[in-house]
Structure 1
Amino acid sequence: MALKGMRSALAAALLLVSVTAQAEYEARAVIKALDRAVLSGELAAKVARLPLRPGDAFVKGDSLVELDCSLYQAQADKVSAEVRAAKIKRDNARELKALNSIGELDVALAQSEYAQSLAELRIARLNTERCTIKAPWDGRVVSVQVNAHENIRQQQELIEIVGDRQLEAEIVVPAAWLNWLAVGQPLSLQVDDRTESASAEVSAIIPAIDAVSQTVLLRATLSQDTQLIPGMSATAVFNAPSAQ
């Protein structure tokens, strides 16, 4: 009986050690998006149209904000006419020079005026291109910070977007784990309030240890087919060599 009791106690102790070891290799994680931005207007203009609302999905190149740029388009048309006039003047100067009617200086000035007009046209066309703010990547709208028909100023924040395909997890772990942690190490993420888990692997170990908590920050890359959303909390489970 005494031997049987010792065996039962030993088995219970081993089970407790196993559970403790497993708990030692769990850490809290937060899901974040690699692509997230607040887009601002580069022009002072009126908002003509907002095609998307918060939560709507978009693909790269879709229109997010459209501005009323009638004034900038008119300026571009005016400069375009000036370019045509400068070109005619330059070509005429070259013909007169061939007839020895004017000198090299007059031709150079005409060429310079034409080049300056071309530069102004590029600026004008750049302004008209800025009238439509397009999506830099696939994603969803987080928030819209203006309304249609409002006048905006330069550098005013207009819309916040997030890419929901390229996700990563930020994980805070004890610095002592650096003895066995390595870049490329696989792990699983148990999402809070969800039954499914997601696989990931350590992509970077931040080379700085917090002096107070003695912890270090990790980044883990998730697969692109995950259904997770940025901002979710999860528990990262590592299969460390010592736990095996």
Structure 2
Amino acid sequence: MRVSAQLYTIRQCGDLADQLKLVSVCGFSDIETTGLHDMTPQEMARIVHQSGLNLRSAHFDWEEFNERFDDIVEVLHLLECQVAVMPWLAPQARPGTVEGWKAVSGQLSDWADRLRDHCISLAYHNHDFDLNGEPGETPLDQILAQGNIYWQPDIGWLVAAGQCPADLITRHATRILSVHAKDVDPQGGSGDGRWRDLGEGVVDWDATLRALLRTKCTDLFVEHDETADHKRTLQTGRSFLTEQLEGIG
């Protein structure tokens, strides 16, 4: 598995070119981007190409899939990337019923079919709201009931929601291509104040990584939603995960 960088962590660090420079300085070769940055596919691809970094996966929000689907396909082809991720539904857009989530999963499945025609896989990224409900009826359950959608687990959000990452990873082992690796404050907390740099929280990384090694997962994306020290977060995360993987062998 590669240790890669998620650009959401450094979204406040200048424009896309600035963010890519910081990632490179921190020793990464591989990235996951967030959105189209209000650019054309050609503009975005040029900036990523110039950075020398490899695009492994890319997040696009619901509106971008709705309104710029062809641009998503084009930028991924230009950057030779085969994974798109839908990461988020705004609170006002989240259904309140199982039937509502079935409709959401149906739309995601439609996009997955269209992307597959272009040799691109679609994954869904969880938070905590999509883990609410009875077993088998959570929003995540409804989405993964669609056989053509992969799952990108966010390890921090799983733990914050009281879930065991290793158990869920094992249950959905064939559906995982990558994960977001972030840690959770031992004292709990709320909102974005709950996150910690990797290795400084309560996540059982040994069990989590061992479970991931039995899946199709290729990338561990270092992430921290609201870090005060972007460079430290990236460097600490990269070093920690590299050491953990070496220790497992």
**Does the alignment reach a TM-score above 0.5?**
no
Larger RCO: Structure 1 or Structure 2 (Cα < 8 Å, ≥ 6 residues apart)? 1
Output the TM-score relative to the length of structure 1. Answer: 0.18
Which structure has the highest strand share of the two?
Answer: 1
